[in-house]
Amino acid sequence: MSVKNDTGGEDRDLTAEELAAIEEEYDEGARTRAVSTGFARFLKVVALAFATYHYLTAGFALPADYWHMGWHLSGLFILIYALFPMFRTHSAYEMKTGPLHLGGVPLFDVLLMALGVASALYLGFAWQGVPWLGIEEQTFRMGNPNIYDMIFGCILIVLVLDIARRTLGWVLPAIICVFMAYALFGPIFPGILQHPGVKFRTFVSSMYFPQEGIFGVTLWVVSTIVFHFVLFGVIAQRTGLGQLFIDNATILAGRYTGGPAKVSVVSSAFFGTISGSSVANTVSTGALTIPNMKRLGYPGHFAGGVEAAASAGGQITPPIMGAAAFIMAEFLEVPYTTIVIAAIFPALLHYIGVFSVVHLMARRLNLQGLSKEMLPRLGTVWRDGWANMVPLVGLLVVLFSGYTPYMSAFCGISLAIITGMARVRNPATLFYPGAFIAFVAWKYTGEGFDLPMSAILIACAVLGSFNPQERIRLPQMADTFETGVKYALAVGAAAAAVGIVVGVINTTGVGFRIGFMVTQGAGQIGANLHTLLSFGSFELFSVEDITLFISLVLVAIACILMGAGVPTTALYIMLVSVAQPALAQLGVPPIASHMFVLYYGVVAEITPPVCTSAYAAAAIANSNPFRTGISAFSLGLGKIVAPMAFVYAPVLLFVSQTGFDLWTFIYTATSCIAGVICLSTAVVGYWLAPMGVGFRILMGLAGIVFIAPSLQADLIAALIAAPAVLTQIVQRRRIAEEG
């Protein structure tokens, strides 16, 4: 059955090559220039060496930080300068030849590549000192860099900004340059922002030497943890885990009202557990769900919006979240598993918000589910795909047993390789499980793994080799590793560049200064509103409550506006440095303020005019990109105030220092979900029957009030919603009687 697209043409299913092209076009850092065959082989060797180095060091031992991050940066410089042109013109991606090119890469980019590698590795080379060059040990040079430090430090700062620009565009480097200007020219800034300024030599030293700046926490997290989880997600998807998720989501939700749209939400939730990339989630699950939605009558822009809105949640969906979650764990100095637990309810709320809008829209349009013939068979799906769960189970067992995230990623990747490549019926391939079992035994004898953990991992390795699916050959797995490396280039460049922001914040204290400005401004607005909302001795809200609410609104607006051109990870790092001091002054627990900023960073992912996942979905749906972005944003409106609940009721995050009480959690969660559903009803304009504008406004107001976790607020919200609810019940009965 063919259907019309938004422009009146015929729809058709997209090929794997077309889907890959869509992902390249819209995924930040995925589109690369053409190079010669020989140079492509060289880059493949670099990518495989890069992946192998990270994989092996995660399992066996990490080198010193300055060497480890130096090698990571070196790989980024080689691959980014080879694959990403200086400017994003159409011709820049085409194959170029001539005396000024090497294998299709301009010699100027090759020069920058060499300078980048030299500046990244110089730190390790000169760490212990180089007497014959007059270079002292790093300890004696800290804060007093020599001429070599200054040269390589300046080169590194400029080139890090350049690779961020090449992979992510101009916005992020421009913002970082503003932070650099603030550090260097502090005396010319007005009021509370004024500071003595940082000397240029001190600035270069702070940005270049480890602990702060480029070789700081953000690059360490990406090079030590995030890359491994990105690689695991790519391999797990390639071996069949992604398809297993989609099939199970179809079985769970496909038969109900608006089935394909609900499949999109559920499959995106499943897929989000192994991938923190919004665009990758959109393309992987949307290839099936978007055409199915359109076949059942959904408008193309709405079908694309559903997929984009659902896929954006991948960055906050445990256990494998986006890079920001790993950085959050380092900032808060808590185990990553604490962040995973804290993210459970926020992720659930995200998908409830999208799911409720989808359900109500399907009811409004009277869209039916998939027929029984279109649904996969549960027995067949699990008979063929059960083994694909083994790597994820192994990763989670190691992660929640208290081992480091990179050790859990090493085990997960190893089990994914075994599941994909080893088969009992092919004895030669049993080398893979044999090698991993030998590793587990080595760890056990060295007291790295206890007996139960060792037994579980060995059992997983044995089970993975019984995978009934066709095995993946070595060249295919090599291509998968190469793809995983390319996926990690943009986030690596962003992490290195944003390290400059972290260094500036730590050096100048600008986060506390802006945070103080936010709370002062919110306090003045709160005092004025308190006067308006007070009647004699009776006050509807206290000044503190109003001040907190205004502060949250200001931070949320900043997140959404800056998120228009900045990746979620970079946005989180820059804004949490402002939000944390501001909200801490108002008594908000640290993990609540961090999760607040991260959640709004995800909302910004689907906020026009820049919403790359929505544009990728539009390409699959063959719909208008901006209209698709508006649809994705509308789908997100149902949960746009939900993060405020984490601040007012940290119990929703399970692990807040305020403690956890089951009944308080149940009551607060129910109230919050009721608020999200009311807001979703207001967005769609339908609950039991079509809803007029006036009643939609009432439901929207009720939803906002429901978010405030108190019995008084819930009673007020119920009173506000009552007229709309009663009218809906009456209308529903009237329609039933007429029908």
Choosing from 187, 218, 249, the residue where a domain stops is 218
pLDDT for the residue 223 = 92
Q: Flag whether pLDDT at 310 surpasses 50.
A: yes
d(CA 326, CA 379) in angstroms, rounded, equals 37
- Lowest model confidence (mean pLDDT) among 103-107, 172-176, 286-290: 286-290
Tell me what the pLDDT averaged over the chain comes to. 84
Q: Flag whether pLDDT at 259 surpasses 80.
A: no
Q: How many domains, the chain?
A: 2
User: At residue 535, what are phi and psi to the nearest 5 degrees?
Assistant: -130, 95
Please give the model's pTM, rounded to 2 decimal places.
0.85
Domain assignment present for 35: yes
pLDDT band at 23, cuts 50/70/90?
Answer: low
d(CA 343, CA 321) in angstroms, rounded, equals 9
Mean pLDDT of 366-370: 75
Q: pLDDT tens digits for 610-667? A: 677 787 788 888 888 778 888 888 777 666 777 888 888 888 888 766 677 888 888 8
Residue 447, by phi and psi: left (phi above 0), alpha (psi -120 to 50) or beta?
Answer: left
Mean pLDDT of 337-362: 85
Q: Flag whether pLDDT at 116 surpasses 90.
A: yes
pLDDT band at 11, cuts 50/70/90?
Answer: low
Domain assignment present for 160: yes
Torsion of CA 677, 708, 561, 551, to 10 degrees: 180
pLDDT band at 14, cuts 50/70/90?
Answer: low
Q: pLDDT tens digits for 165-183? A: 998 888 889 989 999 999 9
Q: Flag whether pLDDT at 271 surpasses 90.
A: no
What contacts 148, CB < 8 A, 6 or more positions away?
122, 126, 133, 135
Six-digit token string for 71: 């090698």
Six-digit token string for 28: 């930040």
d(CA 389, CA 413) in angstroms, rounded, equals 12
Domain assignment present for 739: yes
pLDDT band at 564, cuts 50/70/90?
Answer: low
Q: Residue 125: is it exposed, middle or buried by C-beta count within 10 angstroms (0-12/13-18/19+)? A: middle
Three-state SS at 538: strand
- Lowest model confidence (mean pLDDT) among 539-543, 614-618, 679-683: 539-543
Residue-range definition of the domain harbouring residue 37: 19-218
Choosing from 200, 218, 236, the residue where a domain stops is 218
pLDDT band at 7, cuts 50/70/90?
Answer: very low
Six-digit token string for 212: 């702060």
pLDDT for the residue 1 = 37
pLDDT for the residue 17 = 63
Mean pLDDT of 50-71: 93
pLDDT for the residue 609 = 67
Q: pLDDT tens digits for 412-457? A: 999 999 999 999 999 999 999 999 999 999 999 988 899 999 999 9
Mean pLDDT of 269-295: 73
User: At residue 493, what are phi and psi to the nearest 5 degrees?
Assistant: -65, -40
Q: Residue 560: is it exposed, middle or buried by C-beta count within 10 angstroms (0-12/13-18/19+)? A: middle
Domain assignment present for 190: yes
- What's the sign of the alpha-carbon dihedral 642, 643, 646, 649? negative
The winner for highest mean pLDDT among 30-39, 42-51, 98-107 is 42-51
pLDDT for the residue 59 = 92
Note every long-range contact of 374-383, with CB atoms under 8 Å and residues 24 or more positions apart, other chains counting: 374/254, 374/292, 375/250, 375/251, 375/254, 375/255, 376/247, 376/250, 376/251, 378/251, 381/244, 381/247, 381/248, 381/251, 383/468
Domain assignment present for 188: yes
Mean pLDDT of 358-372: 79
d(CA 682, CA 528) in angstroms, rounded, equals 30
Mean pLDDT of 710-729: 87
Domain assignment present for 288: no
Domain assignment present for 140: yes
pLDDT for the residue 642 = 76
> Looking up tokens 């991992």, which residue turns up?
457
d(CA 651, CA 337) in angstroms, rounded, equals 17
pLDDT for the residue 639 = 66
pLDDT for the residue 479 = 92
Helix (H) or strand (E) holding 102: strand 101-102
Residue of 297, 255, 303 whose CA lies nearest to 282: 303
Torsion of CA 107, 113, 116, 117, to 10 degrees: -130
d(CA 569, CA 323) in angstroms, rounded, equals 6
Three-state SS at 622: coil
pLDDT for the residue 115 = 97
d(CA 18, CA 16) in angstroms, rounded, equals 5
pLDDT band at 519, cuts 50/70/90?
Answer: confident
Domain assignment present for 470: no
Choosing from 168, 202, 218, the residue where a domain stops is 218
pLDDT for the residue 3 = 43
Torsion of CA 107, 80, 416, 253, to 10 degrees: -130
